[in-house]
Chains A and B, each alone.
Chain A
């Protein structure tokens, strides 16, 4: 295939991935790597490099819109970025030392986990006040109340060490696999630290770009970021996610989330099998 043809194909696939990722909240990055490796036989190192860069683009683009709404907690995000950036550096260093097959297997497992967590019902039980450690670290805030005219709701964080550890793991996976690890970040905040949903999802999105930037420098230095491949991936995912965010208001997301989670689970099994067979 010519470069022009493959670029058009990659751009179209990335557009669809970014669109569905934004619509379902699963993020576009998770399907880019299987798409490139299984579909187009791109080396997994080039694939995770391109995917990581597209993650920075979508996260920063969406975060710009979210911070204005007043849900994003910049202090909580910054504090937890201590864990995610350190993890991301460790993950990127690890990526160079693990064989491609092993990375594919871990990737498949992470995909299955994120598809499962996306479908599982999550009870929301935000804490109105934080525990002593969280208060000392000022991990608290208030977010807009439900409905117009409602008073702002105060909230505080619980179980900070557990949340911090989960964030470290999210960082490692992000650096190792070139994904945003949004599902794990949200889990750390709304389930472990008992923060409100909207605060968790928007703060997670806000953190994804910084986490990814921590490993992107190492990827670039190692030669994982190929301009010819990353160009259509980054532009496609960015355009797709912007369109997806627009369409979100009109779409029936429930059915779509099931379908997309099914697609992700199928890709996960393919990745694991290919990794075990040494076919990547």
Chain B
């Protein structure tokens, strides 16, 4: 049936996932090392929920604090890469289905991607 193209699509999807997770883990580990070196001796306190500060909640804020080589900022950047990995996988699948001229699944995938972007771009505040 759609054997060949499905196989190559799957191989590419697998590659995206592996690369995304590896990159995220590396960035998180670097950020973690900086964070522990600077703050490791302080007392841990997560018993009461306070919420994260603005610069660790939005993509722009995270990018700024990561560029300033803040340990916590770098960790959040790695986590952002991790969250973006399945999203990139979905976006890439649109291309795959379009190459197979499968209009139904291009539409399904565009819809899934729009739900993901709605959530990532702050739609949950509504």
Contact = CB atoms under 8 A, between A and B. Distances in A.
Q: Answer whether A and B are interacting partners.
A: yes
Interface in B55-79: 56-58, 71-73, 75-76, 79
A22 interface: no
Interface size class of A (residues with CB under 8 A): 35 or more
Contacts of B10: 67-68, 70, 72, 74
Interface residues of B, number: 71
Contacts, number: 210
Nearest to B56: A227
B98 interface: no
Contacts of A132: none
Contacts of B18: 61, 64
A102 interface: no
A221 B124 contact: yes
B111 interface: yes
Interface in B8-23: 9-11, 13-15, 17-18, 20-21
Main SS of the interface on chain B?
A: helix
Interface of A: 1-7, 41-43, 45-46, 53, 56-57, 59-61, 63-65, 67-68, 70, 72, 74-75, 78-79, 81-82, 85-86, 88-89, 92-93, 137-138, 142, 209-210, 212-218, 220-232, 234-235, 238
B15 to A, nearest CB: 8
Nearest to B119: A217
B122 A214 contact: no
B85 A217 contact: no
Contacts of B89: 60, 209-210
Contacts of A64: 14-15, 17-18, 21
A209 B51 CA distance: 24
18 contacts: A3-B42, A3-B43, A5-B44, A42-B46, A64-B15, A67-B11, A74-B93, A79-B105, A85-B112, A92-B124, A137-B104, A138-B104, A213-B116, A214-B115, A214-B119, A217-B124, A223-B56, A226-B52
